[in-house]
Chain A
């Protein structure tokens, strides 16, 4: 078996509004569009993914929250209906996904070897969270690439941000080792929003884009600062200011996916490609790509 590698990573946020705006057959509610700049950003990301031809997609989602360790989907096929508990009016999605259980088990084993508490989720009736599904749908609506789903352990919230993100960094290293040992060509998906300040009421017409804008100007400025650094490949600086960003912009990257992905990729100092940025109920969302095959 040849040594596996991470070929790319994407910042791939999961507002269910994007699925709602697209009107795929799997989603029950119908819309008149909305959030086009972000959806078109995902179209660019989809084209990149098509070119990359990975064996597997790994997604770390903040909406599968676990308390006792880091969990991995461990059932070969999972299907069902996922209804978003926050936006049930927008997201009622019939999903069916194939899990790369061998890789998931390898990730779990490596996480344990790295000193983390890690578990395989083997219950076939488990309902996959809407964050995982939204990110996967938006990046690959064909659902023809096996996935590894990873929970967000609540350590950054339960412990301290530093301790929690420290665990995520270990998880990222473990993920990389597992990918290398199993010979996969893997793409990582960090399912995170940036600034997470949001409106507290939904417009009567959810897709009325006249109501959509950053909830916080300060949060918007933070997003632009982070994106600008990422576009320049100044990864180290991003991680130096990440705690402040999290604190001041209520950034969802606190939940760990962003740190997990960059740790797995080895914190590359390469320019990220911004496919697009937009707000969803006021939160800041960037679709970005780090193509490690071009950097090699």
Chain B
């Protein structure tokens, strides 16, 4: 079974750079559990979709065999730098580009020294793949793609991974409720910005635990009407598209605030898998 794991992770640099801050520590620990589960699944490649890599023209895929450098987040530069060194599965990325016309999407590879890898991808890779052992396929979030098209994109990536006989994991990188505090706060008091956001987030996490994809999609649409959902939860759409009928519920490994916004580390159950790798 080539699909061996699937996760949603927030991509915020706050938990990564400052795990010592009490409200952020649980999410940092949840990432550690996710990383252990991912390592146990032994994927050949991580297929990453980050809401923070914004594309406008075409769907972009990273095609540089090795991307490395030092990134500084444009908002959270005070908290430290983000060095990165990632290997890219260019064969699989190229296959995704070639196949995307089948779903009516024009795709393009990027292979440039100094290309700005987004914070979310760097943080997800740093947490889940700290030694850089696993190569990645990284897909951009084209802002004009809707939920359905993004699901198709996830399905396309999964199909190409299977065609190339990869053991693969799907990683959706993005947040939940997007309302942030717009003034400086004492970090130790960070919390979800409102009770309504917190409630909606928890309802969504509850819906994710069920194994009913149709109900989940309905819950997502309702959720987007209640909160300022991060990019319409397209990172979830990508993962659900890749999971397809193998979606069998999910486990929340951690949930908490990211300067007021909602963030969660979620491990999906993949039907056909034996045993359970994560823990609540």
Contact = CB atoms under 8 A, between A and B. Distances in A.
Interface in A110-128: 117, 121-123, 125-127
A68 B112 CA distance: 31
Contact of A200 (B74, B78, B144, B181): B144
B275 interface: no
Contacts of B77: 121-123, 126
A136 B233 CA distance: 36
Given A67-B182, A68-B180, A88-B110, A202 B74 contact: no
B24 to A, nearest CB: 16
B104 interface: no
Contact of A83 (B54, B116, B181): B116
Interface in B52-90: 53-58, 70-72, 74-75, 77-78, 81
Contacts of B131: none
Contacts of B75: 66-68
A85 B56 CA distance: 10
| Number of chain B interface residues as a range | 20 to 34
A201 B58 contact: yes
B182 A125 contact: no
Contacts of A123: 72, 77-78, 81
Contact of B56 (A86, A122, A158): A86
Interface string B116-158: 1010000000000000000000000000100000000000000
Contact of A65 (B53, B56, B74): B74
Nearest to A94: B114
Contacts of A86: 54-57
B106 interface: yes
B178 to A, nearest CB: 9
B259 A68 contact: yes
Contacts of B188: none
Contacts of B71: 127
Given A88-B110, A123-B77, A125-B70, A202 B58 contact: yes
B143 to A, nearest CB: 10
Contacts of A35: none
B81 A117 contact: no
A280 to B, nearest CB: 12
A127 B106 contact: no
B186 interface: no
A69 interface: yes
B72 A85 contact: no
A88 B112 contact: yes
A92 interface: yes
B114 A92 contact: yes
Nearest to B112: A88
A200 B184 contact: no
A214 B81 CA distance: 41
Nearest to A80: B114
Contacts of A83: 112-116
From A117, A125, A126, A199, residue with most partner B Cβ within 10 Å: A125
Contact of A67 (B112, B113, B180): B180
A223 interface: no
Interface string B87-118: 00000000000000000001000101111101
Contacts of B259: 68
Interface string B232-257: 00000000000000000000000000
A44 interface: no
A66 B74 contact: yes
Nearest to B178: A158
Contacts of A122: 77-78
B57 A200 contact: yes
Interface string A55-86: 00000000011111100000000000111011
A173 interface: no
A85 to B, nearest CB: 5
A129 interface: yes
A125 B53 contact: no
A293 to B, nearest CB: 35
B180 A85 contact: no
Given A83-B112, A88-B110, A127 B72 contact: yes
Nearest to B116: A85
Contacts of B181: 68
Given A82-B114, A123-B78, A127-B72, 17 more contacts: A64-B74, A68-B180, A83-B112, A83-B116, A86-B55, A86-B57, A88-B115, A92-B114, A117-B184, A121-B77, A123-B72, A125-B81, A126-B72, A201-B57, A201-B58, A202-B57, A281-B57
Interface of A: 64-69, 81-83, 85-89, 92, 117, 121-123, 125-127, 129, 151, 155, 158, 198-202, 281
The 5 closest A-B pairs by CB, nearest first: A123-B77, A81-B114, A83-B114, A88-B112, A126-B72
Interface of B: 53-58, 70-72, 74-75, 77-78, 81, 106, 110, 112-116, 118, 144, 180-184, 259
9 contacts: A67-B180, A67-B182, A68-B75, A88-B112, A123-B81, A125-B72, A126-B72, A126-B77, A158-B182
